[in-house]
Amino acid sequence: MVRRFRTGTTVSISCLCFLSLLTPCRPTTVQKPSPYSYDLGHLAAIDPNPLPSTSILLSQSLPDRNATLRAIARDGAQTLLNTFLTTCSITSTSDGLVMALPPTTQQLPRWKPLPKPKQPTKWELFARKKGIGKYGGSGKGGAALEERRKNMVYDEEKGEWVKRWGYKGKNKDEENDWLVELDDKTIKRESEGLGGEGQSVRGEGRRERKERIKRQDRRQRNNERRNRKGGTID
């Protein structure tokens, strides 16, 4: 039995010399109708010549059959050894002579299939849906990542992305302005009370937003009632 010793991209010369000592009486040159091809990085020699037919092998005795197959294997090992000694560089180290192997030219198939992707747990599915933890991004909320991105706008004053609507949304910036611009129409409306006693123009933006929300809620309820009755929806 012949063992193959290999470390990284180098192979010990003593291993190759051991192969040559197996059959010292055979010639070192190998003649074949079709030349061998090699993948020296994998220590492989590919013989394109066909083996003897099954009928010929079965017609031989067992010792002759084994001798035929050993001769074919010996020729492959001899031509591989010849190619190593003529094409690869040999250096002397403290461990002895070392031969550097070239890169491999063929991809070997995997022994086992590729691992299947791990299925997400129930918590990961829930966190991805709700935007919790590592799935939260810069805007944590109750929407998917794509939906949260649609609700983001860049605030040049703060230098960061903020929500477009909702809690601390960009649409509430004007409500917290320390300086409010007034025109004659707004001053007149403020003097008349803006529709309520003690109200000022500073809180008008918040009141208008609240009114829009109320109007939208009323329209939604009306549409739901029409839908239940079979009518059309606005």
For range 26-38, the mean pLDDT: 84
**Helix count and strand count (H, E) for the chain:** 7, 7
- pLDDT value of position 212: 83
With 0.85 as the threshold, say if the pTM is over it.
no
CA angle 113, 116, 119 (to 5 degrees): 165
Rounded Cα distance between 131 and 72, Å, is: 66
Chain segment 187-232, per-residue pLDDT in tens: 777 676 655 555 666 666 677 778 888 898 898 888 888 888 765 5
Is pLDDT at 87 greater than 80 in this prediction? yes
Chain segment 52-62, per-residue pLDDT in tens: 898 998 999 99
The count of other CB atoms within 10 Å of the CB of residue 187 is: 11
- pLDDT value of position 146: 62
Is pLDDT at 134 greater than 80 in this prediction? no
In terms of pLDDT, which residue wins out, 10 or 31?
31
